[in-house]
């Protein structure tokens, strides 16, 4: 025998209230009923083991209480810290953030954005891989609250939360150049599509006329080849040299081996770059890093997406969460 599915009418009948009262209870509107009524509804729900139909509730309320969060690479501490900051705001407000990872793939990013646009998410917080507003617009396909993070998008129709990438890179570069570090090696993911990396590199170039640039494909790279390239550059340099990571991941990837090979044993080498954790100074205590604040960026994104959902219009088009050096 197939058991009958319990519905909201069954709860209302057992509690001897209207279905509207049960609906108000389910939506937390307890101020619209007496405590005794709320207790009767709660008891009926418990006795019948009633679970509200999420799909039906979405049709009625036109909301799913879920927010899509698309990040460039969930393996990076920056992206996970962003997500935690977002969760710190959305979860207490009853929203469920859903983490979606592009894995540094433009094709996958397009697919995920398109999927979000076709789904019932109430909003999208996007850390885009590139900086092309037209491409993002094309894939979203519908009007929805959107906040972008960590990319400076020209003529963006959405509020964006970014950092002071050029200024802080320039500040760090000036400091090390004045300390006598006249050569610089820069480790970075490809800069062509990411405005964040372009701005950081531009800040370094405003001080250093020549840069040994090593661009690394995040999904396809030869660790041994890059170590060999680093060894060759260090061997050929007679000047004090700064090794700078535009992305912390690359310092964590190659720094331990450079140390084990004895390539950093004198005072002519210094380590710096952008950091989301304290791991680089733990490996190389003399490192002087640029400290980012992804958790704060995520928190601000959570605040602003809620403001958009509530149709507030006084949101700054650009919010800067400055890194420090």
Using DSSP, how many helices (H) and how many strands (E) does the chain show? 13, 11
Shared domain for 122 and 204, answered yes or no, is: no
With respect to residue 130, please indicate whether it lies within any of the assigned structural domains.
Answer: yes
Lowest pLDDT segment from 92-101, 116-125, 179-188, 273-282: 116-125
Shared domain for 157 and 174, answered yes or no, is: no
Q: How many domains does the chain have?
A: 3
Shared domain for 301 and 259, answered yes or no, is: no
Shared domain for 133 and 237, answered yes or no, is: no
Instruction: For residue 149, count other CB atoms closer than 10 A to its CB.
Output: 28
With respect to residue 74, please indicate whether it lies within any of the assigned structural domains.
Answer: yes
Check residue 58 and give its pLDDT.
60
More confident residue, 266 or 25: 25
- Taking the C-alpha atoms of residue 110 and residue 101, their distance in angstroms, rounded to an integer, is 11
Question: How sure is the predictor about 56, in pLDDT bands with cuts at 50, 70 and 90?
Answer: low
pLDDT in tens, 209-254: 999 999 999 888 999 999 999 999 998 888 999 999 999 999 999 9
Q: Which of 41, 60, 79 is the last residue of a domain?
A: 60
Check residue 54 and give its pLDDT.
59
Shared domain for 75 and 152, answered yes or no, is: yes
With respect to residue 3, please indicate whether it lies within any of the assigned structural domains.
Answer: no
* Widest CA span in the chain: 87
With respect to residue 2, please indicate whether it lies within any of the assigned structural domains.
Answer: no
List the structure tokens of 311: 């149709």
User: Which runs of E-coded beta strand occur in the chain?
Assistant: 66-71, 96-101, 123-126, 146-149, 160-162, 181-188, 212-215, 240-245, 269-275, 290-291, 318-320
- Residue 253: which CATH number? 3.40.50.2300
Check residue 2 and give its pLDDT.
45
Shared domain for 14 and 113, answered yes or no, is: no
Shared domain for 198 and 244, answered yes or no, is: yes
With respect to residue 129, please indicate whether it lies within any of the assigned structural domains.
Answer: yes
With respect to residue 210, please indicate whether it lies within any of the assigned structural domains.
Answer: yes
Closest residue by Cα to residue 12 from 39, 34, 45, 35? 45
Give the dihedral sign, CA 37/40/45/48. negative
Residue 135 sits in which domain range?
Answer: 63-162+294-320
Shared domain for 24 and 75, answered yes or no, is: no
- 160-162, strands of its sheet edge to edge: 96-101, 66-71, 123-126, 146-149, 160-162, 318-320
- Residue 16: which CATH number? 1.10.260.40
Q: CA-based Rg of the chain, rounded to a whole angstrom?
A: 26
How many angstroms from the chain centroid is the CA of residue 18? 44
- How does DSSP classify residue 31? G
With respect to residue 96, please indicate whether it lies within any of the assigned structural domains.
Answer: yes
Across residues 263-292, what is the average pLDDT? 91
Shared domain for 187 and 95, answered yes or no, is: no
Shared domain for 135 and 214, answered yes or no, is: no
Shared domain for 75 and 192, answered yes or no, is: no
Query: Crossing angle of helices 223-236/248-260, nearest 10°?
Result: 70
The residues, any chain, with a CB within 8 Å of residue 315's CB and separated by 6 or more, are 159, 304, 307, 308
Shared domain for 201 and 254, answered yes or no, is: yes
Residue 3 scores a pLDDT above 60? no
Summary mean pLDDT of the chain: 90
With respect to residue 84, please indicate whether it lies within any of the assigned structural domains.
Answer: yes
């Amino acid at each position: 025998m197939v058991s009958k599915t319990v519905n909201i009418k069954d709860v209302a009948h057992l509690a001897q209230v209207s279905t509207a009262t049960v609906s108000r209870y389910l939506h937390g509107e307890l101020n619209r009923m007496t405590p005794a009524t709320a207790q009767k509804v709660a008891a009926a729900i418990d006795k019948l083991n009633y679970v509200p139909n999420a799909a039906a509730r979405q049709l009625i309320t036109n909301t799913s209480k879920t927010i899509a969060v698309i990040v460039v690479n969930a393996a990076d501490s920056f992206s996970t810290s962003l997500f935690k900051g977002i969760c710190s705001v959305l979860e207490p407000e009853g929203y469920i953030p859903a983490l979606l990872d592009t894995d540094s793939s433009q094709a996958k990013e397009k697919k995920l954005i398109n999927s979000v646009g076709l789904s019932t998410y109430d909003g999208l917080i996007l850390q885009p891989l590139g900086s092309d507003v037209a491409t993002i617009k094309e894939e979203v396909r519908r009007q929805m609250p959107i906040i972008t993070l960590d990319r400076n998008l020209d003529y963006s129709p959405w509020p964006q939360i970014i950092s002071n990438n050029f200024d802080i890179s320039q500040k760090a570069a000036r400091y090390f150049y004045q300390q006598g570090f006249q050569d610089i090696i820069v480790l970075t993911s490809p800069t062509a599509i990411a405005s964040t990396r372009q701005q950081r590199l531009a800040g370094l170039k405003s001080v250093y006329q020549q840069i040994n640039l090593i661009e690394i494909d995040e999904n396809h790279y030869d660790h041994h080849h890059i170590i060999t390239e680093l060894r060759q550059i260090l061997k050929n340099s007679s000047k004090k040299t700064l090794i700078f990571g535009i992305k912390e991941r690359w310092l964590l990837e190659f720094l331990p081996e450079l140390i084990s090979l004895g390539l950093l044993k004198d005072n002519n080498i210094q380590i710096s770059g952008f950091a989301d954790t304290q791991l680089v100074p733990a490996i190389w205590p003399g490192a002087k890093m640029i400290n980012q604040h992804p958790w704060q960026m995520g928190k601000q994104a959570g605040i602003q997406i809620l403001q958009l959902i509530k149709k507030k219009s006084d949101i700054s088009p650009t919010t800067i969460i400055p890194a420090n050096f």
